Chains A and B, each alone.
Chain A
Amino acid sequence: MADSSRETVLNGIRTALRRGPVSESVRRELDGRLADHPASVVPSIARGGRDALVARFIAQAEASAATVARVAPDGVAAAVADLVRRHNLPARVAVAADPRLDDLDADGVLTVDRRGTPAPDDLVGVSHAVAGIAETGTLMMASGPASPSTLNMLPDTHIVVVRATDVAGGLEDAWDRLRALSTDGLPRTVHFITGPSRTGDIEQTLQLGAHGPRRLHVILVDDGPDALGQ
């Protein structure tokens, strides 16, 4: 039954296109396109030098209603603590099991309740992004042991650390990083996050905080001007 459904659909397509299965030469051409995955039109906002890209990333992220704090490499814990204070958030946080986020509770301000997936009532989550995308002010999060996908979605407040050297230009750079990251297919869930969750479903009035986080705070780590591979 399943097989016959498959053949029905595929044969329907071929009949409509007035041909049989694609020929060997066409197949090679199509598989070549898949293997080369050529880029198409890349907008100018996706290109630029390091400083321009970081500046654009910040501007676009802020335009999407995220906040951005730029800190030195050793300033992450203090920046999280500062966010918690300024936004009156609980000092108990759920933190992704990423070694780069190991010392958040070192100075005693924060209590790390959990490493890994959040509990449904965790209000603050902290994760580390794979990359930032300057074109759109987007954070790219890839699921894996160090980055639970539910942490991006369940807590009311999501704090994301991203390195300045990981700020890419456009989506094309993001896809490349993703391919470099994965040996065995893509990670199960790749989130491209641009601002907090929102809805306009009631009279087209924009409301932040629909089902995902109400607030998104980005901590941009200035990890040296020379490290960027652009």
Chain B
Amino acid sequence: MHVTSRRFKDNVRGAVNDANLRQSLATMKTGFRVKRGLAVAALPEFEALREAGKAIKTHTLEHLDHYLEHFEARVLERGGHVHWAPDAETARRAVLDICRTHGAKTVTKGKSMVAEEIELNAFLEGHGIRPVETDLGEYIIQLRHELPSHIIAPAIHVRKSQVASTFRESHPQFPADRPLEEPRELLDEARTVLREHFLGADVGITGANFLVAETGSSVIVTNEGNGDLTQLLPRVHIVVTSIEKVVPTLEDTGTLLRLLARSATGQIMSSYTTVSTGPRRPDDPDGPDHFHVVLLDNGRSRLLGGEFQDVLRCIRCAACINHCPVYGAVGGHAYGSVYPGPIGSVLTPGLASLEESASLPNASTLCGRCEEVCPMKIPLPRMLRHWREQEFARHLTPARTRWGLRAWAFAARRPWLYRLGTGLAGRLLSRLGRGRGRLARLPLAGGWTQVRDLPVPPPGGTFMARYKRGETR
């Protein structure tokens, strides 16, 4: 998993000055959030479903090996194949081998975050196979050579005028003066172009929202229908997915489906929920002749049985991302990981390494909104704190921060010194900011005063001093 989170601070600087991005992120607040709120309010059983969903996932994770083996057995019974992949390289190789066996030149792809995680497109291209993303958002960013900036709305950072210029560049087959101002026109053009790809592809790759152990099925949830055309038209359907997607039964899938669409887009049910089981049957008029499932671990099993196990309950609805004030300010690319936002800040250090991604658990105000809206009740803020603790314990925290924390700890353990220090500092600050109540500049605190004023304490001493004098109620 390619992670560039070390550059987080520089990325943030770029992001907050990007006017296009600001506009895109503003739409998210009125879109996803409002719709989710309405959908949740309309279902009195939502809270009970959250508890039920959490229980299902927890139960499954505790018996993950058993359910995966059961899933595998059902897939084989139905004539499909299962490829176990401990790491990204094994998963990519498995996909390439299947493509080569079938002489594939073009591969259509439904949206898959696991495929992003293992950087499948670059790998296939490097081996002479052309992957074509078919989800509209993924298609747009593939043409723009960008990474997704959101797990369910990958092109959320792109304005429609940018889509138009990308299409003009990438689709020279259409008249140069065609109108491309409206979303409708852009969508129709993409629909026309991608139809040809759907019909011509040799292999179709989708992800999976759920794997059903009971039946050996993979389940995808989509709105566009691209995942369906991707898996129905080519001769080969490959599901690229990860081990924690398995759930025991169809009923369990139903419980999670009731949570997923509402939490993601505020829909009661997405347009298409597709349950795919094995290759086509002898008397089926259509469907793929071959069915493969690539099961990726890539660090997930390591998270079991420990303080980060709960993150594996995630159903990738993106509610935490949509409600995160940090994501809302900087967008997805700043995180430098395919999984942005609160879920990404917990997952990325677990799947890659804390060394590469220590900025991410710190990119949070710990406001708690993510946990509030998480349909799986994942305690994201607590896990962000766990990563911060590990960062400190493993000496990954920058020297200045460590020095500062040590100085603070020294004083905090000596109340007389702490009181003396805060009293002096308070008096000094209120003198410096006299009359204005705030400071625009302060030596050693440039990081703060660069973008906002520092409020100064009112004269009259610290809270404790005034409390002792009886000035407070």
Contacts and interface: CB of A to CB of B under 8 A. Distances in A.
B133 to A, nearest CB: 11
B277 A210 contact: no
Contacts of B63: 22, 26, 30
Interface string A183-205: 00111111111111111111111
Interface in A132-155: 135-138, 143-145, 148-150, 152-154
Contact of B278 (A15, A38, A185): A185
B268 A194 contact: yes
Contacts of A2: 83-84
A68 B140 CA distance: 34
B273 A120 contact: no
A117 B272 contact: no
B278 A202 contact: no
Interface stretch (B121-129, B297-305, B411-419, B461-469): B297-305
B84 A8 contact: yes
A149 to B, nearest CB: 5
Nearest to B85: A5
A212 B250 contact: no
A13 interface: yes
Contacts of B156: 204
A5 B287 CA distance: 29
A200 B31 contact: yes
Nearest to B154: A201
A97 interface: yes
B226 A10 contact: no
Contacts of A189: 228, 231-232, 274-277, 287
A64 B271 contact: yes
A186 B302 CA distance: 33
A4 to B, nearest CB: 9
Given A38-B251, A41-B48, A197-B223, A5 B68 contact: no
Interface in B15-70: 24, 27-28, 31-32, 43-45, 48-49, 52, 56, 62-70
Nearest to A1: B90
A12 B140 CA distance: 38
B45 A44 contact: yes
Contacts of B304: 13, 16-17
Contact of A188 (B214, B233, B273, B287): B287
A128 to B, nearest CB: 14
A196 B225 CA distance: 9
A199 B287 contact: no
B455 to A, nearest CB: 36
A196 B191 CA distance: 14
A202 B183 contact: yes
A186 B64 CA distance: 23
B471 interface: no
Contact of B66 (A22, A171, A187): A22
Contacts of A62: none
Contacts of A120: 195, 199
Given A41-B49, A153-B229, A197-B272, A210 B223 contact: yes
A192 B270 CA distance: 9
B285 A186 contact: no
A34 B249 contact: yes
Contact of A194 (B69, B250, B269): B269
B263 interface: no
B215 A185 contact: yes
24 contacts: A6-B84, A14-B65, A16-B304, A17-B65, A34-B248, A137-B268, A138-B273, A148-B285, A153-B225, A171-B258, A188-B279, A190-B274, A190-B276, A191-B273, A192-B274, A193-B271, A199-B187, A201-B153, A207-B187, A209-B191, A210-B223, A211-B225, A212-B226, A212-B271
Given A144-B284, A203-B160, 18 more contacts: A5-B86, A5-B90, A8-B297, A10-B65, A15-B301, A17-B65, A33-B248, A34-B70, A41-B45, A117-B285, A144-B281, A148-B285, A153-B232, A172-B254, A188-B276, A202-B136, A209-B187, A210-B226
Interface of A: 2, 5-6, 8-10, 12-18, 21-22, 26-27, 30-31, 33-34, 37-41, 43-45, 60, 63-64, 97, 116-117, 120, 135-138, 143-145, 148-150, 152-154, 170-172, 175, 178-179, 185-205, 207, 209-213
3 closest cross-chain pairs (CB), A and B: A212-B225, A210-B224, A171-B254
Interface of B: 24, 27-28, 31-32, 43-45, 48-49, 52, 56, 62-70, 74, 77-78, 83-86, 90, 134-137, 140, 153-156, 159-160, 163, 183-184, 186-187, 191, 194-195, 198-199, 213-217, 223-226, 228-229, 231-233, 243, 248-252, 254-255, 257-258, 265, 267-281, 283-287, 295, 297, 301-306
